Structure 1
Amino acid sequence: MPLSEKQLIEIRRNLHQIPEIGMEEFETSTQLREYISRMPQDFLQVKTWKTATLVRVQGKNQSKTIGYRTDIDGLPVTEQTGLPFASKHAGRMHACGHDIHMTVALGVLSYFAENQPACNLLFLFQPSEEILSGGMQVYQSGVMDEWMPDEIYAFHDNPQLPAGTIGCRQGTLFAGTCEIHATFIGKSGHAAFPHQANDMVVAGAAFVNQIQTIVSRNVDPIQSGVVTLGHFEAGTTGNVIAGQCQIDGTIRALTQENNLLIQKRVRQIAEGIAQAFDCEVKLELNQGGYYPVENNDHTTKAFMDYMQANDQVDFVETAPAMTGEDFGYLLSKIPGTMFWVGVESPYSLHSEFLSPKEEAIQKAVTTIVGYLEHRQKDVFTATY
């Protein structure tokens, strides 16, 4: 029998207790593979790559494959929920709800392990969504090549939506992100003799101020972008001129085109500040696989049409969010759709107090199984 709601909740609580950060999900992947091994194996084939697990469910017609991805990593957060099944790993927590993601994926997989699908299904249990671009790493490793899906789906839990509610939209769901790491190097000296030094507090402050003009003066006001500098460190004491400063931040944009535009302007401004202040700059812009999550028009229309027509589904059309997600990289390679599943909590994603409502799990499993069964009828004639 497919996993019951009681079994799914038990699985979720077990996974919640063993969060691990990206590419270190050894206990998690072992546990996942154990759960998968207990399912009927008639239609299943399993591959592994580092801490990733891929499960192919053989369809009656093997000419097409639908992919389904879940992330498996936790965050370096100390849990403060007080739950009896709280994290056993000090300084680690499933504060982004990936324990919910994994549990739903196991529930959906357990159904199709019992009920052979019309086409192939590929379940990807992906490591390192939060850091190190795990989706990009898995794709570039080649482990998916033999089982490459024709289209792919994934969800993220949403504390702001009622438990079990499905949210989606055409176009971009999540922003693309890029890390900014800028080091300005001048010359330190005595505070009384500024002409004998090259003050990097002043240079860094000019960089911070100039960065604020990018979104207001370079990005189309009809579109969206964010440049936030959250870390500025310089100097040792008040009467010594700082010879170096370190500035770190992030870029967020709803299209890859705008992300690249903002990156270009950050680089130009950094180089301009270095020239203006006669100093050296070392700039690192690291986007990795964190592309915008740009939903495919055709798969998303099919998904939203199904959800809106299903009386058993609570569906809402959502606005784009400036949060990042490395599923955007997979969507840049494979047509597909990402959506929200509500888990109703007063606390945000990444909060040490986040405690998703578990009634969302069975609702999500039922909804996703229903959609995948429906979509299998159309995938053979789908165009993208």
Structure 2
Amino acid sequence: MRRDFHRHPEIGFTEFRTASKVVERLTCLGYEVIYGQDAMDGKSRRGLPSDEVLESCFNRALKDGTNPEIIEKMRGGYTAVIGVLKGKADGPTVAFRFDMDALPVCESAEVDHIPNVEGFRSEYEGNMHACGHDGHTTIGLGLAEKLADQQFAGTVKFIFQPAEEGVRGAYSIVQKGMLDDVDYLFCQHLGTGVPLGEFHGGSTGFFASTKLSAHFRGVSSHAGASPEEGRNALLGAATALLNIHAIPRFSSGTTRINVGVLEGGTAANIIPDYAKMVIETRSISEEVNEELEKRVRDIVKHSAAMHELEFEIEMIGKAIPIRCDQSLVDLAIEEAKQVDGFTSFKPFRESGSIGSEDASFMIERVQKNGGQATYMVIGTDIPAPHHHPKFDIQEEVLPRSVELLNRIARRML
């Protein structure tokens, strides 16, 4: 199952094939399945691909034999899937979240890359499961199979989330109300520098983050004959770039800032009339991140004004810090100690290198409603860092992860 997902990696909001497989499996196991616009608030999605990209990926899924009736409900990027199963008696609602999306990374074809050697390298050139989400989806479906016997008291809810990369997809699921009945939420990630056999019951150090797309619009003209008649959008964007990277660091909290994309122009002899930037801010403090975002917006505005340009700024992703509940951290470690293969146990994965996670919005909603949540890390040795063309996981981590989550679910229920 994991290798099938690995061969067919789909980036955020285009997980039509992956999500359809999840729908089919959950339905077969007897779960109530909620998907499409029933599972997501369309206006709350962030960083949605263009209509052309969405439709192209939809058609690719159809050509790969995906059930057309299922993905028709997902058309336009509604690729979240929620599975719900009630047990034999009343009890709490326990949710597990699994992300499904891949990355725009070209997978290695070198002879030491196991997916290439074993024949399950990406068939979608330029896309790759370079962060382990193929493993996450597989673990979720394995857990769903374990719990299909309904021998528990309460309700289990499986949240298969699109577009975690770029922190884009979770917020729309939260805004649809899919977390409002959840008493306990468990999120998890494979790898992140934690070795095989090690388990962390919670995580700290996730950054608040904002992803912005800035668009500059000017006037084109001949760069040799009439340069004064043009308004150079690329020059305005370059002005903004240099000043964004000159924003000072903060004494009150660790920060990161980056302009990851700058593009514009069509030819050497044409004043560019359009330019685009993609920017991210990060901070360990939500308040500091908000201040960084404000300064970035001000710089874009005034850089555009300097060059007499029009501009617009679009938020394409956002995350907030995560606070794990100690009681769930302790409980998860207790259960991990009962699973063969786990030999080292730590309460928290303490590293800003984890980056940012939009599961943060799910965790926040559950906690604000009086529930509890944690974000666990399950170790696996990796031959290359996350988001690298040679990224891979050790597949023996999959069954032990399923067993761990099964023990946690039955303990909570």
State the TM-score, normalizing by the size of structure 1.
0.79
Q: Percent identity?
A: 26
The residue number in structure 2 matching 1:48 is 35
The structural deviation recorded for 1:227 is: 1.3
Q: Aligned to 1:128, which of 136, 143, 163? A: 163
Q: Where does 1:1-384 land on structure 2 (aligned, <5 Å)?
A: 11-39=1-29, 41=30, 44-49=31-36, 50=74, 51-80=79-108, 81=113, 82=116, 83-114=118-149, 116-130=151-165, 133-142=168-177, 144=178, 148-167=181-200, 169=202, 171-183=204-216, 185=218, 190=223, 203-216=236-249, 220-235=250-265, 245-275=275-305, 277-288=306-317, 290-296=318-324, 299-304=325-330, 306-307=332-333, 311-312=337-338, 313=342, 314-316=344-346, 317-318=348-349, 319-321=351-353, 323-335=355-367, 336-376=373-413
Q: Residues 175 and 357 (structure 1 numbering): CA distance in 2 closer, same or farther, change over 3 Å?
A: farther
SS of match in other structure, 1:64: strand
Q: Residues 223 and 132 (structure 1 numbering): CA distance in 2 closer, same or farther, change over 3 Å?
A: closer
The structural deviation recorded for 1:357 is: 0.5
Q: What amino acid maps onto 1:173 in structure 2?
A: F
Work out whether residues 106 and 128 of structure 2, in 8 Å CA contact, stay in contact via their aligned partners in 1.
yes
Q: Residues 224 and 287 (structure 1 numbering): CA distance in 2 closer, same or farther, change over 3 Å?
A: farther
SS of match in other structure, 1:294: coil
Work out whether residues 263 and 285 of structure 1, in 8 Å CA contact, stay in contact via their aligned partners in 2.
no
Aligned residues: 354
Work out whether residues 177 and 253 of structure 1, in 8 Å CA contact, stay in contact via their aligned partners in 2.
no
- Post-superposition CA distance 1:3-59 (Å, at most 9, x none): xxxxxxxx21222222223333232233223333444x4xx4333333333222213
In structure 2, what is the Cα distance between the partners aligned to 1:38 and 1:274?
A: 55
The structural deviation recorded for 1:315 is: 2.4
In structure 2, what is the Cα distance between the partners aligned to 1:327 and 1:267?
A: 25
Work out whether residues 164 and 359 of structure 1, in 8 Å CA contact, stay in contact via their aligned partners in 2.
no
Q: Residues 169 and 223 (structure 1 numbering): CA distance in 2 closer, same or farther, change over 3 Å?
A: farther
Q: What amino acid maps onto 1:107 in structure 2?
A: G
Work out whether residues 304 and 311 of structure 2, in 8 Å CA contact, stay in contact via their aligned partners in 1.
no
SS of match in other structure, 1:47: strand
Q: What amino acid maps onto 2:399 in structure 1?
A: Q
Q: What amino acid maps onto 1:257 in structure 2?
A: E
The structural deviation recorded for 1:172 is: 4.4
Q: Residues 208 and 68 (structure 1 numbering): CA distance in 2 closer, same or farther, change over 3 Å?
A: same
The gaps in structure 1 that reach 5 residues or longer are: 1-10, 377-384
Work out whether residues 102 and 125 of structure 1, in 8 Å CA contact, stay in contact via their aligned partners in 2.
yes
In structure 1, what is the Cα distance between the partners aligned to 2:125 and 2:332?
A: 42
Q: Residues 150 and 308 (structure 1 numbering): CA distance in 2 closer, same or farther, change over 3 Å?
A: closer
In structure 1, what is the Cα distance between the partners aligned to 2:269 and 2:228?
A: 14
In structure 2, what is the Cα distance between the partners aligned to 1:301 and 1:78?
A: 41
Work out whether residues 86 and 150 of structure 2, in 8 Å CA contact, stay in contact via their aligned partners in 1.
no
The gaps in structure 2 that reach 5 residues or longer are: 37-73, 368-372
The structural deviation recorded for 1:122 is: 0.7
Q: Residues 271 and 180 (structure 1 numbering): CA distance in 2 closer, same or farther, change over 3 Å?
A: same
Work out whether residues 253 and 292 of structure 1, in 8 Å CA contact, stay in contact via their aligned partners in 2.
no
C-alpha RMSD over aligned residues: 3.2
Q: Residues 338 and 132 (structure 1 numbering): CA distance in 2 closer, same or farther, change over 3 Å?
A: closer
Q: Residues 60 and 164 (structure 1 numbering): CA distance in 2 closer, same or farther, change over 3 Å?
A: farther
In structure 2, what is the Cα distance between the partners aligned to 1:309 and 1:23?
A: 34
Work out whether residues 303 and 371 of structure 1, in 8 Å CA contact, stay in contact via their aligned partners in 2.
no
The structural deviation recorded for 1:62 is: 2.7
The structural deviation recorded for 1:184 is: 6.0
In structure 1, what is the Cα distance between the partners aligned to 2:6 and 2:315?
A: 30
Work out whether residues 64 and 150 of structure 1, in 8 Å CA contact, stay in contact via their aligned partners in 2.
yes
In structure 1, what is the Cα distance between the partners aligned to 2:399 and 2:227?
A: 66
Work out whether residues 172 and 295 of structure 1, in 8 Å CA contact, stay in contact via their aligned partners in 2.
no
- Post-superposition CA distance 1:53-95 (Å, at most 9, x none): 3222213443421111111222333322413122233433222
Q: Residues 287 and 168 (structure 1 numbering): CA distance in 2 closer, same or farther, change over 3 Å?
A: farther
Work out whether residues 218 and 310 of structure 2, in 8 Å CA contact, stay in contact via their aligned partners in 1.
yes
Work out whether residues 174 and 321 of structure 1, in 8 Å CA contact, stay in contact via their aligned partners in 2.
no
Work out whether residues 184 and 200 of structure 1, in 8 Å CA contact, stay in contact via their aligned partners in 2.
yes
State the TM-score, normalizing by the size of structure 2.
0.74
In structure 2, what is the Cα distance between the partners aligned to 1:196 and 1:35?
A: 61
